């Protein structure tokens, strides 16, 4: 029943009571058509329907702002339904470009209806759960509403940007061929050292200039082996570091940078792990190949800014997630107490690289010149420069990233070609 049927009942009883009190049969007769109308509607009132729904998505994992066509099918396995209002419930953050998400129609038994529409949205993990179905008979006096389960998932992942190969020099490498110098002699392209000739050494590697100085011994050139390494990427998702705003656009730059860096290192054959550190800890354990790429992008799709008093400091980083003496990359605007933790991490043998999006420059356009806010920004910028200089003195490579400049351009400008060839990113100057 609804408000319309309640009003009709009140009207029927009103006529009956008024007619009985006044002993007027004409007034009582007025209630008879209404009573018949109500009885017929009650006879045809629909029973709770048995509905089955399903969704289809041509692509379950797409990039931001990509149109995706979604089809929703609803089938009636119960009795005939005279009037049905189907209303799909979209997750927050999705926008309908075309099509319809609701429809009003009759639904006979065994019939299936389809809703088709195109949505788009930003990065995120969108979960479709239920749709609401309102049903009633043609008189509109008896109606009901039931949720119908139609679960599905749309993963909108960050789009990795193409970057040039980034040379790194972690203290320890893995036993597979790759692009990273391993500080061990063997087969490679870069000269490593000269040693005495051993049986089995190729003749073309004999250093004849050194051999000419000796009367009996031969000497062989040894090259540095190139291998793959373990790379751990930490995405800082702590809300206070981004100005306390849960929807700060600067975080999207950090997510895109994490996706681009992981893509670059995976292409080189390295083992890459991803750790999102914010309201909680979301981890993609170290791995290599295309499957690992999917895991990392899914982890980044779920990344959200948040606050957690238990994780407000980097001191609680799960360092066992990173293999010993591996390369660690932190993407963070940095908070006041972060440098001490990073210096400790460097002292434990990890090679640390910090990519720090500059929140102060990002928000500089919102401040008027010669205002107290501008003075506060200048002070904050000076404190930031001091913290970054402290990290550099500890042997940590730091990139102060103004996000108005593409990441590829920042890497080219801040890190010159000659130091890259000599020692790679992360090696103390």
d(CA 369, CA 242): 22
Has residue 421 got a pLDDT over 70?
no
Distances (CA, A) of 32 to 25, 35, 125, 401: 11, 5, 58, 81
In 3-state terms, what secondary structure has residue 48?
coil
The sign of the CA dihedral 233, 237, 240, 242 is positive
The sign of the CA dihedral 334, 338, 339, 342 is negative
Pairing between β-strand 68-76 and β-strand 124-136 as defined by DSSP bridges: unpaired
Q: What is the pTM of this model?
A: 0.76
Give the number of other CB atoms < 10 A from CB of residue 270: 26
Name 22's Cβ contacts closer than 8 Å, sequence gap at least 6.
Answer: none
Give the number of other CB atoms < 10 A from CB of residue 90: 17
pLDDT of residue 423: 43
Q: What is the pLDDT of residues 367-412, one digit of tens each?
A: 666 667 777 888 888 999 999 999 999 989 899 999 988 898 888 7
pLDDT of residue 228: 74
pLDDT of residue 292: 93
| Least confident piece of the model among 232-241, 269-278, 408-417 | 408-417
More confident residue, 197 or 420: 197
In 3-state terms, what secondary structure has residue 59?
coil
More confident residue, 226 or 332: 332
d(CA 337, CA 335): 6
In terms of Cα–Cα distance, which of 85, 76, 132 is closest to 104? Answer: 85
Has residue 355 got a pLDDT over 80?
yes
d(CA 276, CA 284): 9
Has residue 160 got a pLDDT over 70?
yes
Grade residue 358 by pLDDT with cuts at 50, 70 and 90: very high
Mean pLDDT in residue range 276-301: 92
Stretch (H or E) spanning 53? strand 51-56
pLDDT of residue 1: 60
pLDDT of residue 277: 94
pLDDT of residue 156: 92
More confident residue, 196 or 324: 324
Grade residue 415 by pLDDT with cuts at 50, 70 and 90: low
Mean pLDDT in residue range 323-352: 91
Has residue 424 got a pLDDT over 60?
no
Highest mean pLDDT of the ranges 36-50, 58-72, 358-372: 58-72
Q: Which residues pair with 283 in a beta bridge?
A: 275
Helices 25-43 and 3-22 cross at an angle (nearest 10°) of: 150
Per cent of the chain over pLDDT 90 is 32
Grade residue 218 by pLDDT with cuts at 50, 70 and 90: confident
Mean pLDDT in residue range 361-366: 76
| Least confident piece of the model among 252-256, 294-298, 362-366, 392-396 | 362-366
More confident residue, 53 or 245: 53
pLDDT of residue 300: 95
More confident residue, 290 or 183: 290
pLDDT of residue 362: 86
The radius of gyration computed from the CA coordinates of the chain, to the nearest angstrom, equals 34
The angle formed by the CA atoms of residues 396, 398 and 403, to the nearest 5 degrees, is 160
More confident residue, 373 or 425: 373
Has residue 425 got a pLDDT over 70?
no
d(CA 251, CA 277): 13
pLDDT of residue 116: 92
Has residue 212 got a pLDDT over 70?
yes
Mean pLDDT in residue range 100-126: 90
| Residue 149, CB-side half-sphere exposure with 13 Å CA sphere | 0
Mean pLDDT in residue range 20-41: 80
User: Rounded to an integer, what is the distance from CA 191 to the centroid of its chain?
Assistant: 42
């Amino acid at each position: 029943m609804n408000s319309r049927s309640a009003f009709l009942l009140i009207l029927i009883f009103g006529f009956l009571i008024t007619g009985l009190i006044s002993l007027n049969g004409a007034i009582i007769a007025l209630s008879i058509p209404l009573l018949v109308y109500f009885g017929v509607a009650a006879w045809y009132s629909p029973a709770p329907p048995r509905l089955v729904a399903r969704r289809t998505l041509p692509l379950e994992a797409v990039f931001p702002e990509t149109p995706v066509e979604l089809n929703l099918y609803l089938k009636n396995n119960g009795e005939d339904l005279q009037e049905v209002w189907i209303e799909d419930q979209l997750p927050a953050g999705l926008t309908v470009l075309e099509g319809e998400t609701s429809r009003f129609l009759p639904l006979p038994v065994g019939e299936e209806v389809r809703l088709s529409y195109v949505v788009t949205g930003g990065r995120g993990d969108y979960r479709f759960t239920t749709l609401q179905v309102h049903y009633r008979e043609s008189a509109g006096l008896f109606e009901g509403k039931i949720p119908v389960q139609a679960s599905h998932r749309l993963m909108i992942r960050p789009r990795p940007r193409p970057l040039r190969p980034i040379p790194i020099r972690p203290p320890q490498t893995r036993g597979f061929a790759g692009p990273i110098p391993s500080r061990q002699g063997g087969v490679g392209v870069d000269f490593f050292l000269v040693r005495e000739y051993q049986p089995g050494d190729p003749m073309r590697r004999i250093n004849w200039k050194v051999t000419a100085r000796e009367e009996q011994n031969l000497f062989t050139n040894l090259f540095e082996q190139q291998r793959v390494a373990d790379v751990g990427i930490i995405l800082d998702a702590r809300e206070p570091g981004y100005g306390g705003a849960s929807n700060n656009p600067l975080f999207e730059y950090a997510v895109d940078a994490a996706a681009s860096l992981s893509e670059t290192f995976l292409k080189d054959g390295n083992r890459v792990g991803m750790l999102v550190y914010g309201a909680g800890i979301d981890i993609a354990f170290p791995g290599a190949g295309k499957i690992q790429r999917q895991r990392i992008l899914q982890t980044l799709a779920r990344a959200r800014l948040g606050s957690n008093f238990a994780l407000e400091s980097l001191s609680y980083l799960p360092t066992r997630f990173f293999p010993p003496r591996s390369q660690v990359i932190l993407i963070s605007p940095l908070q006041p107490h972060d440098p001490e933790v990073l210096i400790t991490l460097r002292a434990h043998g990890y090679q640390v690289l910090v990519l720090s999006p500059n929140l102060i420059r990002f928000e500089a356009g919102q401040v008027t010149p010669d205002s107290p806010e501008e003075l506060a920004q200048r002070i904050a910028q000076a404190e930031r420069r001091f913290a970054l200089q402290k990290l550099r003195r500890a042997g940590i490579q730091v990139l102060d990233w103004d996000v108005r400049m593409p990441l590829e351009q920042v890497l080219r400008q801040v890190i010159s070609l000659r130091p890259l060839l000599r020692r790679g990113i992360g090696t103390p100057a």
